[in-house]
Structure 1
C-alpha cells in the first residue's frame, strides 16, 4: 500500500475544493473498487477524499414522477427500495445480478458508475496497458482476451466496462447529476462513459474536479415488461460475458416502445437507438427480435478468444426480449434462464 493523505469532506462544495486542491486526489465512498486498485498498485492517489458522510443518500420522487437517487445510496438499498421495486424493477434486477451481497451493501451508486475495468492486464503492473499507462500498448489485443470487448474497440484498448447497474440505467434513459468548480450540470448516462479511442485512460466525460451527486430516472420505468439477463462463467460473483437489459411496452401484440442495452461487450454500456427503432410498431416475435439483435451488434469485431461472444450476445438479446414481451423477467435468485 502506498502512502497517502486523508481528508473527510464536510459537504459537496468541500469535496470539490479538496479534489481540486490536489491533482492526485481520489474520492472514496464504499471503496469496493478503489481499495483493490490501490492494493494492486494500479491506483496511487496522493490523497483520499472521503465523501461517505455527505448527505447524498436520498431516494425520492421528482415533481414529474421520476426518481432522484443520491450518489451515496448503497446498491443494496437501491435494489430493494419500494419505489424501485414498484416502478423500476429492471434496475433492481440488474443490481442484484452484480457482485455479492456484501459488496452491494458497501458499494455506492456513484462509485458503481466510476468503477474501472476488470481486465487482467490492467491489474497486472508488469504488463503494458494503455489504460494504466498511456502509450505502452494493449496486452489484451494479442493476449488472452476471452472476456474482452467486441464492440467499440480501438487499437489502444479492448477492455470492457463491468457494471450491471449501468446497463439498466442506460436502457432507462437515466441522467447523471454532476457538481464541479464550474457549478452543476446533468448528462445522459449513455454519454457519461467513453469509448477507448486513443485515450483509454479516460473512462468518463467528467471534467477535472467534478463529482457525481445523483442519478435521475424519468417517469417511464417499464415496470410490467422487462428483463435483465446476465450470462457468466459461473452463477455467483462473476462479471458478465454478455448481459442484456430489455424493456418493452406493448399495444396488443405489437411493440409500442422498446429499450435495449448490452453489458460485457464494450468500454461502456452499449445502446443503439436504431436497434430499438426497428422494434417499434412490429409484432413481439422472434424474427423481429433477431433483426434488432443484428442491428445492435452491427460492427462487432472478434479477437482471438472472444468470437463466441457475438453469437452469444445475439441469442441473449433474443431471449431477453422474449422474456420482456412475455412479462417473465429473469430471476436473480434462481439463475436458471427462463
Structure 2
C-alpha cells in the first residue's frame, strides 16, 4: 500500500532565521502556505507587502464573492466554513484538525479580512496565549503574515505504508510509474520530513546509495575490493531519512527494510478531465490528476462555479443558527445570524 501525498512541486523549506523569519505550514489544493514574520502593524496592506517581499502572495481568506474578501488578495481556493466564518480553516484542519482559534501551529498568524468593523482589514489568532478568539490586526505588530505560493508542477511524491528492502522499494516505485525520490535539495528534504512526520513517522528509504562497499580501516584507508565475503553479504549502503536523527540523511545496509518515498514527474494529462476551461496535470502514470481551474471555478474537476452550485451552502436553509437566534439570507452567497430583540 502507498499513501498518496498528492504534492506537486519541489516544495517548501521549514526554517527560522533572524531576519525574514518564515515557516512552511501545509500544502492544500495546489498551493503551499507559509507564515512570514512581518515588520510593523498587522494591516492587510502590510500583510500583502510582507508576502510579496518573500516571493509569495496574500491569499484570499474566502471565495472572491464573499463580502469580507478584499480585492487586493489572490484567490487560492480557500473558502473556510462559510462567508465570514473561520478563516484559514482548511490549513488549520491539515495541521491539527482544529479551527485556527484553537490550533497552536497558527499562533500569531494574521490574514486579510475586509470589514468596516476591523481597522486595517486584517484579523489574526493567538490560540496559545488566548485560545478561542480573533484579534484585530491594527492592534498588533510584528506578528506573522499568512502567505501562499503556487506549487511548481514538476514532480509529486508518494509515501509507502509498508517497509521493503531498498531494491524492492526501487522496483515498487518503478511499477507505480516513478522512481525512489532523489532528494537533491534541502528544501525537498525538509518538506518530505514534514510529510513523513504527519504520516507514518518512521524512517524512509530515498533514491541515494553508494556503488560499492566503502569500508574504512582505522587509518582511514579504503578496504580492498579483493577481500572475500561470505555469501549473503550486504552489497551496498543506501540512504534514508532517519526518524532517529530528526529525518536527516543516514545510511544503512540496503537489505534492511524501511518505508520509502517515490517521486514522479508531473505531465499534462493525456485526456483533459477538467471542466470549464481548467487544465489537467498528472503523475504516476495518470494515477493522480490535478485540475488548475480557470477564474470563477473550483472543485476537483472545476465543476463548481461561484454563485451557482455552491450557493446553497451559504443560505439559511443549509445552516442552523444558535438556539434563539434567527437566520436571514444576505444575498446569494451569505447569511446572518442574529439574536431576537
Common topology (TM > 0.5): no
Please classify the TM superposition score into its range, dividing by the shorter chain length: under 0.3
Higher helix content, 1 or 2: 1
Higher strand content, 1 or 2: 2
Larger radius of gyration: 2
